[in-house]
Amino acid sequence: MIPDRLKDEIAARLEFYRELGIEEFFIEPRPQVGLAELTAGEPPPALLPEALTQAISPLTAAEVPPQAALSMQRPPTAARSLNLFEAESPQSKERETLEDIQGDLGDCQRCKLAGGRKHIVFGQGNPHAELVFVGEGPGADEDEQGLPFVGRAGQLLNRMLQGVGIRREDVYICNVVKCRPPGNRTPERDEVEACSPFLFRQIEAIHPWLVCCLGAPAVKTVLGLKDGILKLRGRFYDFGGAKALATVHPAYVLRNPREEKILREDFAKIRDFLKAAATP
Ligand code: SF4
């Protein structure tokens, strides 16, 4: 029987790791110790939190990837089937619109998240944005309003945008999945596979200069990269004919306020990138 307080600590620790992109744990087998072998006053074998700490210890020392990693091949994801950002051509002039895609999505029942949603959160913003943000999935506020990033994480996103002089209405914001996962859990593989083709179509329709992936699930879906977010963040990757930047999800910063500097740094990079891209 695990005490409630310990259960809460384990849940909080797992949530913290999830935000870092760590979703699998391997617990080192330990020799079984029978109760009879414990001497009086000897502590019992390690409980789960310590085992988890040991399991992720290599990541705490993670170094940034080598410079070569900045030039990535196209992601091995659903995006492979799309011609993202090919040079202007007669076909690209007929690129589908966000309205087309939303119409195609309809009252989507393509995955099990449909059953628990109040609203599909399709996306919001400038359909011709130079900058697209991709988060993980709608939370309770987003599900209620049918709009992305309107809760506390959205307020932090707004503040970060304001800090670098970018107006929210000038960007486009969407998520890997468009329906709220129960309890704000990470979207499961089948859900991502069902929903992400619509995300890639949206990005292709908008044709931005930069896609900013907020958090590990977005990085994994958009770029196909599975390393921890703290290893991947702050770097630009090739993404079709555009670039993608990985950074932490604002919800991570809400839980770890001292990490706000990460978002500030990465948003400054976004600002500098857009300025440079706009310079003839
Ligand atoms: S998450 Fe995406 S694929 Fe699943 S039901 Fe919602 S809109 Fe459809």
Per-residue pLDDT tens over the stretch 122-157: 999 999 999 999 999 999 999 999 999 999 999 999
Q: Which atom, in ligand 1's list, is nearest to the CA of 194?
A: 3
- What's the pLDDT at 76? 34
Evaluate: CB of 191 within 6 angstroms of ligand 1.
Answer: yes
pLDDT at 61: 30
For residue 264 and ligand 1, the question of a CB distance below 6 A is answered with no
pLDDT of residue 20: 54
Amino acid present at 188: E
Residue nearest to atom 2 of ligand 1 (CA): 195
User: Is the distance from the beta carbon of residue 143 to the nearest atom of ligand 1 less than 6 Å?
Assistant: no
| CA angle (216 as vertex; 210, 219 as ends), nearest 5 | 35
Q: Give how far the C-alpha of residue 273 lies from the chain's centroid of Cα atoms, to the nearest Å.
A: 20
Cβ neighbours for 33, distance < 8 A, ≥ 6 positions apart: 44, 45
Residue-level pLDDT at 85: 57
> Which residue has its alpha carbon closest to ligand 1 atom 6?
179
pLDDT attached to residue 83: 56
What is the rounded CA–CA span in Å between residue 73 and residue 176?
20
Identify which of 107, 118, 120 to mutate to test ligand 1's pocket (most ligand atoms within 8 A of the CB): 120
Contact 118, 144 (CB under 8 A): yes
**Closest-CA residue to 108 (of 198, 222, 186, 206):** 198
Q: What is the SS3 string spanning the chain?
A: CCCHHHHHHHHHHHHHHHHCCCCCCCCCCCCCCCHHHCCCCCCCCCCHHHHHHHHHHHHHCCCCCCHHHHCCCCCCCHHHHCCCCCCCCHHHHCCCCHHHHHHHHCCCCCCHHHHHCCCCCCCEECCCCCEEEEECCCCHHHHHHCCCCCCHHHHHHHHHHHHCCCCHHHCEEEECCCCCCHHHCCCCHHHHHHHHHHHHHHHHHHCCCEEEEECHHHHHHHHCCCCCHHHHCCCEEEECCEEEEEECCHHHHHHCHHHHHHHHHHHHHHHHHHHHHHCC
Given a cut of 50, the residues of the chain with pLDDT beneath it are 29-82, 87, 89-90
Ligand 1 centroid vs 101 CA: distance in angstroms? 13
